[in-house]
Structure 1
C-alpha cells in the first residue's frame, strides 16, 4: 500500500513539474509573440499615455521620476499582463499555435500587419461605433413604426 501511495505521489509530483515547464515555455513563447506582433508596443504606449495624463496634473514632480516610473511600469506591467493573459491564450491556442504565430509575425506580411494593426483597430472601432449607431437608429424607427 505504501508503494502505491509513493508511486502515486511521485507521478503527481513529476506531472506537476512537466506542467510547470510547459507553462514556462508557453509564457516565454507568448511573450515573444507579443513582441513580434506589436502588442507589447501597444501596451507600452498605453502605459506612456497613462503616465502622461498623470503628469499633466502633477507639474511639481521631476521629469526623472516620470522616466523611472515609465521604465519600471513598462517592465513590470507587461509581465503581469502576460501572466493574466496566459490562461486565456492557453485555453484557445496550443504552444505550437503560438510558435506558428511567431513565425508569421516574422514574415514581411506579418511585420506589416503588426505595424498597421493599431491603426486598423482604431479605425475599425470608429467604424463599428458608426455602424452600431446606425443599427440602433433603425431599431428605434422600426419600434416607432409599430407603435412601441
Structure 2
C-alpha cells in the first residue's frame, strides 16, 4: 500500500511539474510574440548606449563592449523568466493559450503592430476577443500586471546596470565622477 501511495504521489508531482513547465513555456512564447522580448532587447541596447556615453573618457575598446554585450543574452532570458511570475497569479494556462491564439491571428498581429490601422472586421474581431472572459481579464488586470512588470523591470535593470559596471571595473574601467 505504501508503495502504491508513493508511486501515485510521484506521478502526480511529475504531472504538476510538466504542467508548470508548459505554462512557463506558453508565457515565454506569449512574451515573445507580443513584442515584450524585443522591448527588453532594445532596453539592453539603450543601456549600452548610455554606458558608452558615461565611459567616453575611459576609452573602453569596442572589443570590451562586444564581449559585455554577448553576456547579456542570459539577462534577456532572465527578465522574461521573471515576468512569468507577473502573469502566474493573474492568468490561467487556458487564458495564456487563448491570448496566444488571438495574437497569432491577422487581427491580433495588426493590433500589436498598429491598432489604429484595424479595419472594420478586425475591430469586430478584437472587440469580440476583449468581451470574452480572457479579454475581460486582460482589461481588468492591466494596471496590476503593469505594476508587477514595472517592479520586476526596475529590479532587473538596476541589477543589470550594476553588473555591467562591476564587469567594467574588473577590467580596469572606473565610472567617471
Q: TM-score, normalised by structure 2?
A: 0.55
Report if the CA contact (8 A) 1:38-1:115 is conserved.
no
Provide structure 2 residue ranges, at least 5 long, that are not aligned to the other structure. Answer: 116-177
1:26 maps to which of 13, 23, 27: 23
Instruction: Decide which structure has the larger Cα Rg and report it.
Output: 1
1:64 maps to 63
How has the CA–CA distance of structure 1 residues 25 and 46 changed in structure 2, closer, same or farther, with 3 Å as cutoff?
Answer: same
Report if the CA contact (8 A) 2:28-2:84 is conserved.
no
Write the distance in 2 (CA, Å) between the matches of 1:11 and 1:81: 35
How has the CA–CA distance of structure 1 residues 12 and 88 changed in structure 2, closer, same or farther, with 3 Å as cutoff?
Answer: farther
How has the CA–CA distance of structure 1 residues 61 and 116 changed in structure 2, closer, same or farther, with 3 Å as cutoff?
Answer: farther
1:37 maps to 34
Write the distance in 2 (CA, Å) between the matches of 1:66 and 1:42: 20
1:103 maps to 101
How has the CA–CA distance of structure 1 residues 116 and 62 changed in structure 2, closer, same or farther, with 3 Å as cutoff?
Answer: farther
* Residues 20-57 of structure 1, C-alpha deviations (whole Å, 9 max, x = no match): 11122112211111111011111111111112111212
How has the CA–CA distance of structure 1 residues 108 and 68 changed in structure 2, closer, same or farther, with 3 Å as cutoff?
Answer: farther
How has the CA–CA distance of structure 1 residues 111 and 52 changed in structure 2, closer, same or farther, with 3 Å as cutoff?
Answer: same
Report if the CA contact (8 A) 2:28-2:81 is conserved.
no
* Residues 80-100 of structure 1, C-alpha deviations (whole Å, 9 max, x = no match): 123222233222212222122
Q: Which has the higher helix share?
A: 1
Aligned residue for 2:22, secondary structure, equals: helix
Q: What is the number of equivalent residue pairs in this alignment?
A: 113
Q: TM-score, normalised by structure 1?
A: 0.64
2:75 maps to 77
